[in-house]
Amino acid sequence: MVKENLVKVEEKIKRACERAGRKREEVTLIAVSKTKPVSMIQEAMDSQIMTFGENKVQELLEKQEIITEPLDWHLIGHLQRNKVKQIVGRVRRIHSVDSLRLAKQIQNDFEKKKEMAHILIEVNMAGEESKFGLAPEETEAVIREVAEFPNITIHGLMTIAPFVEDPEENRIHFRNLHKLLVDINSKNIDNISMNELSMGMTGDYEVAIEEGATYVRVGTGIFGDRIYT
């Protein structure tokens, strides 16, 4: 099932890239394996997928224990400050840096181990109460501060769009996140040159690609519905 799903997702990514006049290589598919067993990750690996997203530190570490192949792991869920030290050197990107306090903790814990943290700043584009992320208006100010942290590189912006029936409803949020990235880049802040946009999930990744996504985070579309117990 994973294999067949991946063929379909790949085809949709390809077509969205074509519609947008973009190259397929500009978009990285992150297979969001949260709650799913290692056996399903291995099925995806059999289809040449090497990039996985998890939203919980504990689950990420458990899976890394079992899977020895070098994979690109991305932390995409809200990160508690007391867990930062556990992921030093273990993830390619942290997509979900949603406060200056968290960034400070990342700076401290990564500095102690002489590692660089590669992050994206999470922005709550739709202003949903239930979601983490900076307000668009405060994003530049936070980035200006984090830009001074020697052990952090900010690669771009991430958003989790609202759950909607029609993905077109989220186009505006993706477009605005892209605009925000271009706008902040244009300020020529020292150390800031962002080129990654993490946006789009199973319901809306094609629209996100049309609006410039470089990372799409697809879970259900690859691994099927998640069952939470």
Ligand X SMILES: *Cc1c(COP(=O)(O)O)cnc(C)c1O
134 or 149: CB nearest ligand X: 134
The nearest distance, CB 43 to ligand X, in angstroms, is 16
Using the rule CB under 6 A, is 58 a contact of ligand X?
Answer: no
- How big is the chain, counted in residues? 229
Using the rule CB under 6 A, is 220 a contact of ligand X?
Answer: yes
Using the rule CB under 6 A, is 218 a contact of ligand X?
Answer: yes
Q: What are phi and psi of 175, to 5 degrees?
A: -60, -40
The binder of ligand X chosen from 57, 201, 207, 209 (CB under 6 A): 201
Interacting residues of 56 by C-beta distance below 8 A, sequence separation 6+: 34, 77
Burial of 58 (0-12, 13-18, 19+ CB in 10 A): exposed
Using the rule CB under 6 A, is 51 a contact of ligand X?
Answer: no
Stretch that binds ligand X, among 20-28, 146-154, 183-191, 218-226 (CB under 6 A): 218-226
The binder of ligand X chosen from 47, 64, 176, 202 (CB under 6 A): 202
The binder of ligand X chosen from 16, 76, 106, 194 (CB under 6 A): 76
The nearest distance, CB 12 to ligand X, in angstroms, is 12
For residues 195 and 155, give the distance between their C-alpha atoms in angstroms, rounded to a whole number. 6
For residues 188 and 181, give the distance between their C-alpha atoms in angstroms, rounded to a whole number. 12
For residues 171 and 163, give the distance between their C-alpha atoms in angstroms, rounded to a whole number. 12
The binder of ligand X chosen from 32, 103, 184, 194 (CB under 6 A): 32
The nearest distance, CB 79 to ligand X, in angstroms, is 11
Distances (CA, A) of 30 to 86, 97, 192, 214: 21, 18, 24, 10
93 or 217: CB nearest ligand X: 217
Interacting residues of 88 by C-beta distance below 8 A, sequence separation 6+: 109, 110, 112, 113, 115, 117
Using the rule CB under 6 A, is 219 a contact of ligand X?
Answer: yes
Tell me if 157 sits within 8 A of 194, measured CB to CB. Answer: yes
Residues that bind ligand X (CB under 6 A): 32, 34, 55, 76-77, 160, 201-203, 217-221
